[in-house]
Amino acid sequence: MHIGADYYPEHWPQERWATDARMMREAGFNTTRLAEFAWVNLEPEEGRFEFGWLDEALAVLAKEGIRALLCTPTAVMPAWLARKYPEALALGKDGQRLTWGVRKDSCYTSGALRLASERITRAMAEHFKDTPNVIGWQTDNEFGGPVCYCDSCRAEFQDWLRRKYGALDELNRAWGTHFWGQRYGTWGEIDIPMDPAGHNPSACLDWQRFHSWLNVRFQRDQVRILRQVCPQHFITHNFMGLFHELDYYDLAEDLDFVSWDNYPTLRTGQPQPRTRAASAADLMRGLKKRNFWIMEQTAGPGGWGVYSRNTRPGELRSIAYQQVARGADGMIWFRWRTCTAGREQYWHGLLGHDGRGLRRYQEAAQTAGELQALAPLLEGTTVKAPVAIIYDYDSIWAIRIQPGYAGNAYHADMARYYEALFRAGVNVDFVKPTDDLAPYKTVLAPDLYILPDEVAQALDVYVKGGGVLLADSRTGVKDATGLCHPRTLPGLLSDALGVAIEEYESLGEPGEPAGFSYAVRGEGDLAGPFTAIRTAEWAAPTTAQALAGYADWHMRPYAALTRNAYGRGVGYYLGTVVQEERFYDLLIARLLADAGVAPVVVPPAGVEVSLREGSGRRLLFLINHTEAEQAVDVPAGKLELLTNAATTGVLALGPHGVAVLQL
């Protein structure tokens, strides 16, 4: 297993390098990542390269058995480049170039930048291709910088549209330019749709896709060189979990595997079930349907101006185990030692400013030792989830451009289902709308706002063939170009779901003066009281059975939640957002019962369960995210791999405790 820390030899005197390398080896580390921000150190003047310092650092690391990933260092352009080629800096909406010095400030249609990126990539690849402890590459760093609004981006946008639509008539049709007299007579008339709240939603959607594609192309230019010069090396990139400015499926396509950067303690004052980091891990695994690495793992308090809370004893370890439980095969902490200079002086590494190996270092070392011992068993295993959630960047973008109801937000909606599945102890895969759904017993399609006919037809076939599908409000409103389908919703899913959405409305933001809610009442355990917030569809069941409706007088004819037996499967439809978490637990329980999915362990609150399987092994991870001891009912007579003890039927997990059962 690849374990280690992100290291910046260029930040420290050379006399210290040997100490760092020794301490890494003593911690059980075997891998580092180097040089993602070192462009100016490697090319101090245009076309003059200085690789000697990195050769020496690599040699020092090699002496202690430490391997390295190198990065294409393009996440921060040298000052000389910005000065000589000012067009390499992105242009803001206000017509001003970004001020150099905060990294991630590039215009990806700048020819000067693209050439410079290819030159440093090729020079590094040629120079380090045979260095024995270089094992692979990370492209750039966390793609997803600013959107650029310069003339060159505008011209490339026009070209991109020309390639996509072929004929101007086709673009005029796809964007619906008959509205507001927006018809284009030449490609050159097309402007950047700068105002996502005012410009044509179809144009805004294509502009977002174009921005994503520019990043993918910038990476692809580097990947092509690395593949050619260093065919023996792997190539990855450090993604940002649920970040959604780029289509991560596309960005992942050219890579061998995905890595991601995990900072779960930044947003939370207290330890808590880390459903966000869990769902991010599941998405990262889903991008290429294979295991991933953590390229930057939380090592201490983080922050640029104000730092966050510290990890409590055991928490750094439990954060790492959560990711391994969900498919991480590499664990690199960010960063090795806290830097004494620059904007990230307060972004803490395993070592403080003083360079001593204290508590956090020791906890990482303990984790590294345990993971190396587990590695032979982890080999060949991954998560094989019975449940899929469709994660669709087009829908995420289209909802942001035009939310419809107030407060409509993909991630909040998806999280309600995800968290209920997490509490139920069931693993989830994230999939594209066009993926094969056959492996899944149940599929959830939250906010599938953009619904091309082929996807709707595939979902229909899925349900007919025995699948259990859940869709919810505003499903299938638009086609792939962002035009509203001229049909009664849910359109081509009407048969599978057995409802007709006759009308719909926004309920406003709960708590705001104009906001209101409806009372939801259901049968049996769905009796409530539950509260419909944000959106309510006036949905008339056709063949579906209403499981819950609205108590308000004018809403009584309509259903809030329906279940439709269709073919050999079942289609659920939820036409509102329900405030109470318990509603989602009950809904998920029904879905899982229909789908015949039963978790191995139902965890107590605050405990996470995840199953890795393969190569004839099944490893069940249990992680206590609370600071109280937790008793978990587990199968008896199984080997707990961290203590080497057999389970008795109840397992005690201390604060931030972790267990791995071989089932």
The distance of closest approach from Cβ of residue 308 to ligand GAL in the complex, given in angstroms and rounded to an integer, is 11
Q: Could you say which of 87, 296, 363, 608 is catalytic?
A: 296
Buried b (16+ CB within 10 A) or exposed e, 346-372: bbbbbbeeebebeebbebbbebbebbe
Q: Could you say which of 142, 363, 419, 537 is catalytic?
A: 142
* Catalytic residue list contains 640: no
Q: How far is CA 625 from CA 313, 348, 424, in A?
A: 12, 22, 15
Which residue is associated with the tokens 């890595």?
259
Tell me: does residue 344 bind ligand GAL (CB under 6 A).
Answer: yes
Cα 413 from chain centroid?
15
Nearer to ligand GAL, 64 or 344 (CB): 344
| Residue 398, Cβ density class (10 Å: 0-12 exposed, 13-18 middle, ≥19 buried) | buried
For residue 118, the surrounding DSSP H or E stretch is: helix 111-128
Nearer to ligand GAL, 140 or 429 (CB): 140
Nearer to ligand GAL, 137 or 440 (CB): 137
**Three-state DSSP class for residue 139:** coil
Running DSSP on this structure, what letter comes out for residue 87? G
Nearer to ligand GAL, 8 or 51 (CB): 8
* Catalytic residue list contains 629: no
The answer to whether the CB of 283 falls within 8 A of the CB of 326 is no
The correct pick among 20, 87, 247, 296 for binding ligand GAL (CB under 6 A) is 296
Tell me: does residue 105 bind ligand GAL (CB under 6 A).
Answer: no
**Three-state DSSP class for residue 380:** coil
Nearer to ligand GAL, 294 or 595 (CB): 294
Residues in contact with ligand GAL, total (CB under 6 A)?
8
The distance of closest approach from Cβ of residue 243 to ligand GAL in the complex, given in angstroms and rounded to an integer, is 10
Closest CA to 187 of 212, 209, 162: 162
The distance of closest approach from Cβ of residue 453 to ligand GAL in the complex, given in angstroms and rounded to an integer, is 39
The correct pick among 206, 261, 315, 392 for binding ligand GAL (CB under 6 A) is 261
The distance of closest approach from Cβ of residue 78 to ligand GAL in the complex, given in angstroms and rounded to an integer, is 17
Strands 2-6 and 328-334: parallel
Tell me: does residue 347 bind ligand GAL (CB under 6 A).
Answer: yes
Tell me: does residue 87 bind ligand GAL (CB under 6 A).
Answer: no
- 364: tokens are 């990482």
Nearer to ligand GAL, 335 or 478 (CB): 335
Q: What is the 3 state secondary structure string of 194-211?
A: CCCCCCCHHHHHHHHHHH
Closest CA to 118 of 87, 49, 55, 72: 72
Nearer to ligand GAL, 33 or 127 (CB): 33
The distance of closest approach from Cβ of residue 349 to ligand GAL in the complex, given in angstroms and rounded to an integer, is 10
The distance of closest approach from Cβ of residue 238 to ligand GAL in the complex, given in angstroms and rounded to an integer, is 6
The correct pick among 32, 106, 117, 141 for binding ligand GAL (CB under 6 A) is 141
DSSP assignment of 581-636 equals HHHHHHHHHHHHHHHT---S--PPTTEEEEEEEETTEEEEEEEE-SSS-EEEE--T
The correct pick among 142, 156, 245, 394 for binding ligand GAL (CB under 6 A) is 142
Cα 86 from chain centroid?
33
Site string for ligand GAL, 301-340 (x = CB under 6 A): -x-------------------------------x------
The distance of closest approach from Cβ of residue 234 to ligand GAL in the complex, given in angstroms and rounded to an integer, is 19
Say how far apart CA 606 and CA 604 lie, in whole Å: 6
Tell me: does residue 236 bind ligand GAL (CB under 6 A).
Answer: no
Catalytic residues: 142, 296
| Interacting residues toward ligand GAL by CB under 6 A | 141-142, 261, 296, 302, 334, 344, 347
